[in-house]
Structure 1
Amino acid sequence: MTVRSQHQDETDKSSKPSYYYSPPLDVSVAFPQATPASNFPSAASDYYQFDDLLRPEEKAIRNKVRECMEKEVAPIMAEYWEKAEFPFQIIPKLGALSIAGGTIKGYGCPGLSLTASAIASAEIARVDASCSTFILVHSSLAMLTIEEQKQKYLPSLAQLKTIACWALTEPDYGSDASSLNTTATKVEGGWILEGQKRWIGNSTFADVLVIFARNTTTNQINGQVKQHTRKYLVKKDSPGLTATKIPNKIGLRIVQNGDILLKKVFVPDQDRLPGVNSFQDTSKVLAVSRVIVAWQPVGISMGVYDMCVRYLKERKQFEAPLAAFQLNQQKLTQMLGNIQAMTLVGWRLCKLYEAGKMTPGQASLGKSWITSTARKTVALGRELLGGNGILADFLVAKAFCDLEPIYTYEGTYDINSLVTGREITGFASFKPALSTQRSRL
């Protein structure tokens, strides 16, 4: 190995042109014809006046979330997305919105309607999908899972003074999460957790980790082994626990997804969460969170459309604004129509849930169809911005990449389609026929 001296480094620099080390121009200087997303565009996508369907309190939540995101997050999101770092300075500002905990009543939680929670999620995602995912994991997964320990944990979590994550997925089991390998073994005074989790959002800095594990003490042998799943609250400083950031992501780069290793991690009895005895119980939480997830692509599409409208009016080619060209107007119209349809499907899902009528299949269809439609919508926005469409400064490239993990998490498009298919036909088709036959041998 050759050790370079400071003199050699300085010599190399002096031998290259001065512009080689010049910092890049600010985008507003380098490209003054159009305004970057750090100065976020006005909302322009409510073409069918969806606003009329919202209650006054839901409009108030939307307005305060929109103002916070445009003022506090928009100016810094491209920088932190590029660095793949989380802007911890915004957590108190998000906490002040009083949206964490969503529909939970009491314990310092806001007790919002599901519609209000969904609208808040969309408004956050409109500016930055990573911030929306941060809140989703913390609130719609982890906080909704905590039951008997509500008084102990929820007040601080509701204010974002402490942060939570929700650990179900493992390296070997994503869509097939019900086959998880992480184990919980009963010992005196508590449980010992062993295993590994992957893709766990917020895990690298979470104060409280909700861990799903297989209870080794309740196996029942009735022709087959029936293993029960339990969930456990684990503190970030627990001996044997490590959480390491997953690098090299192309989407949701601000979200700190991690690999969690559990090596003889002790959890006291009082931190075992009751209420989950099978993966079907876990699916109840997932069905609710899928509604919120379905609203993230709605918000992303709204932001991209808003950005495209402003950009096409500002940017000129062939002596005319890009907005004046027929092809561009057709694409804008297609994007706008998609947003109206996605919004109304999402709104109906919320109303079904609030009336106690929503089924898991309906939630899955909403999530899969909306994310698929949003992909097409955001792709059109990417086309409309031409070369600038690949710059995070103008939002659409960032949104294009951020939508990809959302298309996959909380159930891939295919898996969610099968959940709906099972509900409408009565036949489960998750396992290939070959694997089903082998399991009977």
Structure 2
Amino acid sequence: MSFTPLASDFYGFETTLTEQERDFLARLRTWLDTDIKPIVNDHWNRAEFPRQLIKGIADIGAAGLAWEETRPFENSAAFRGWVAVELARVDASVATYLGVHNGLAMGAIAACGSAEQRAEWLPKMAAGNVVGAFGLTEPLSGSDSAQGLRTTARRDGDTWVINGEKRWIGNATFSDVTIIWAKDVDDNQVKGFIVPTSTPGYSATKIENKQSLRIVQNADIVLEDVRIPHSLKLENANSFRDTARVLRATRADVAWGAVGTSIGAYEAAVAYAGERVQFGKTIGSHQLVQDLLAKSLGNITASLALCMRVSDMQDDGTQKDEHSALAKAFATSRMRETVAWCREIFGGNGIVTEYDVIRFFMDAEALYSYEGTREMNTLIVGRAITGTAAFV
């Protein structure tokens, strides 16, 4: 299938990908434009998740791209970042679904699971037969998850008993398994567990009235004496350092998603600027509109350059927490500016969903906050700069 680089990729970063990677992106883009883009506004308005998305993503091979057990071909971290861009430029919620299922849930099993756990769960999740969620954030613990986790796990012979609550857990209203992070009462260390959502004592309730990422089905989770076999404890998840290994990669993924969200708003604004006529000519002919578009493209381009470099570092093994933290903080901050400038171009029309841009504008707020707030990520970078932690 013929691949055409995005016009918003002003410096042609996509052209550095392999032919096989570009062919995959072309197939993904066609599916998104024909099957997903026409329905997202309706689903966003109704705060409903398009279940056909699960099969579509599985059929096209977009889940499991990073893992040896499931990837359809050898590929780069930059390519996987561009997959996030293609998803988010159509809808940030679509990108978030895959980020949770693939990056966080499958990523936790890939990074912290045993060989047997990887072999058992990753193929089923890549095929869309098992949907994953990731339970770290709690009602009283967000930025301080490393120290403030209140969910507990107690070893009882060949089983573990888990008690606690989780909040803001994406995919959790329909997930088949949720990766639950809990403190072991014996050693006070954070450990990870693959928890089937059908387990007695596990319940998930949809969080209503969200005005950002409305398509994403976030839930409050309650765990009351949830008992699972020891075989479902992630073998190599034995402290928060192991949790952080998962988050290091997914923070970079969120940076890519932020670029895609910016591009979605930018593309809508460019199209509108070429169609909307005021004072006898298209508004794209006016200097102030061109200024907003140029500033938006500058933000997109700078963020893409940063994301490309972080992905290269991920591939060569030099990426550290502070690198993904800076990418996430920078790209989401620039996204917030960009979607506001693009919405401004629409004037009053920009606040109704039929023009697309308000969806990107609203969804940007969630990306700005999740996977570590801007402030927390800047503190991770600040620690690397100064050698001094300033978290408390």
**Structure 1 and Structure 2 fold alike (TM over 0.5):** yes
2:50 match: 87
| Counterparts of 1:93 and 1:292, CA distance in 2 | 20
1:20 match: none
| Counterparts of 1:238 and 1:204, CA distance in 2 | 14
Measured after TM superposition, the shift of residue 289 of structure 1 is 0.6
Given residue 392 of structure 1, which amino acid in structure 2 is its aligned partner?
T
1:152 aligns with 2:120: yes
Superposed, which structure 2 residues align to 1:10-409 within 5 Å? Answer: 43-107=6-70, 112-146=75-109, 147-148=113-114, 149-178=117-146, 179-218=148-187, 227-409=188-370
| Counterparts of 2:72 and 2:182, CA distance in 1 | 27
User: How does the TM-score come out when normalised to structure 2?
Assistant: 0.95
Farther-moved stretch of structure 1 (107-116 vs 301-310): 107-116
Given residue 184 of structure 1, which amino acid in structure 2 is its aligned partner?
A
Given residue 166 of structure 1, which amino acid in structure 2 is its aligned partner?
F
Measured after TM superposition, the shift of residue 78 of structure 1 is 0.4
Runs (5+) with no aligned partner, structure 1:
1-41, 219-226, 432-441
User: How does the TM-score come out when normalised to structure 1?
Assistant: 0.85
- Check 1:407–1:110 CA distance in 2 against 1; reply closer, same or farther (3 A cut): farther
* RMSD of equivalent CA atoms: 1.3
Deviation per CA, 1:87-110: give whole Å up to 9, x if none.
102221111121212311125666
SS of equivalent to 1:106: coil
Farther-moved stretch of structure 1 (111-120 vs 362-371): 111-120
Measured after TM superposition, the shift of residue 145 of structure 1 is 1.0
2:379 match: 418
Farther-moved stretch of structure 1 (76-85 vs 309-318): 309-318
Deviation per CA, 1:320-363: give whole Å up to 9, x if none.
11111111111111111111111111111101111111111011
Measured after TM superposition, the shift of residue 155 of structure 1 is 0.9
Asked which structure has the greater CA Rg, the reply is 1
Measured after TM superposition, the shift of residue 188 of structure 1 is 2.5
| Counterparts of 1:295 and 1:247, CA distance in 2 | 27
Q: How many residues align?
A: 382
| Counterparts of 1:160 and 1:198, CA distance in 2 | 24
Contact 2:379 2:390 in 1 (8 A): yes
Farther-moved stretch of structure 1 (207-216 vs 302-311): 302-311
Deviation per CA, 1:234-277: give whole Å up to 9, x if none.
11111011000001111000000000000000010111112122
Deviation per CA, 1:113-140: give whole Å up to 9, x if none.
2112111011000000001000000001
| Counterparts of 2:54 and 2:377, CA distance in 1 | 32
1:427 aligns with 2:391: no
Give the 4+ runs in structure 1 shifted more than 3 A.
107-112
Measured after TM superposition, the shift of residue 85 of structure 1 is 0.7
1:17 match: none
Farther-moved stretch of structure 1 (387-396 vs 191-200): 387-396
